[in-house]
């Protein structure tokens, strides 16, 4: 996707600069976290975070949402020859997470911002 390294699952989903930006967006909510070496490690270490029971179900969906967003973008770039601006990709990732957890799409930016703020651990 970034055309800087071979497309391995590890690089595509964790270490590619596009993936790193999506992970960083959620790292800001949780504090410092280092990118794991494997996709399996990402799921396992993410699930070990001690989060409030109110957001635990949402929290556990974040890696899957990041992976899904990356996969959709990768396919768009490979098969359609189009790429999405990073800011839009981040918004779409957040919108997907919101939709998955609420089973309806966000209707405005304020609703998405409130949702994102509710995930902060601090």
Instruction: Decide if pLDDT at 1 tops 90.
Output: no
pLDDT at 32: 57
Rounded distance between C-alpha atoms, residue 122 and residue 109, angstroms: 22
pLDDT at 50: 80
Higher pLDDT, 58 or 33: 58
| Residue 33, CA distances (Å) to 55, 65, 94 in order | 18, 18, 19
pLDDT at 33: 65
How many CB atoms are located within 10 Å of the residue 36 CB? 17
pLDDT at 97: 93
Asked if residues 104 and 77 have their Cβ atoms less than 8 Å apart, the reply is no
Instruction: Decide if pLDDT at 69 tops 90.
Output: yes
When mean pLDDT is compared across 79-88, 91-100, 112-121, the lowest value belongs to: 112-121
pTM score of the predicted model: 0.86
| The three-state (H, E, C) secondary structure of 23-62, written as one string | HHHHHHHHCCCCCCCCHHHHHHHHHCCCCCCCCHHHHHHH
How many CB atoms are located within 10 Å of the residue 63 CB? 20
Contacts of residue 116, Cβ cutoff 8 Å, sequence gap at least 6 = 29, 94
Name the band, by pLDDT with cuts 50, 70 and 90, for residue 122.
low
């Amino acid at each position: 996707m970034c055309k800087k390294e071979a497309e391995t699952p590890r690089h595509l989903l964790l270490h590619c600069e596009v993936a790193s930006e999506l992970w960083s967006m959620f790292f800001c909510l949780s504090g410092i976290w280092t990118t794991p070496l494997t996709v399996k490690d990402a799921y396992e270490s993410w699930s070990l975070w001690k989060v409030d029971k109110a957001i635990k179900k949402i929290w556990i969906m974040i890696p899957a949402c990041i992976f899904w967003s990356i996969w959709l973008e990768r396919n768009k770039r490979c098969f359609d020859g189009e790429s999405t601006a990073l800011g839009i990709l981040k918004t779409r990732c957040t919108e997907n997470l919101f939709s998955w957890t609420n089973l309806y799409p966000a209707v405005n930016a304020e609703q998405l911002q409130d949702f994102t703020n509710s995930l902060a651990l601090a």
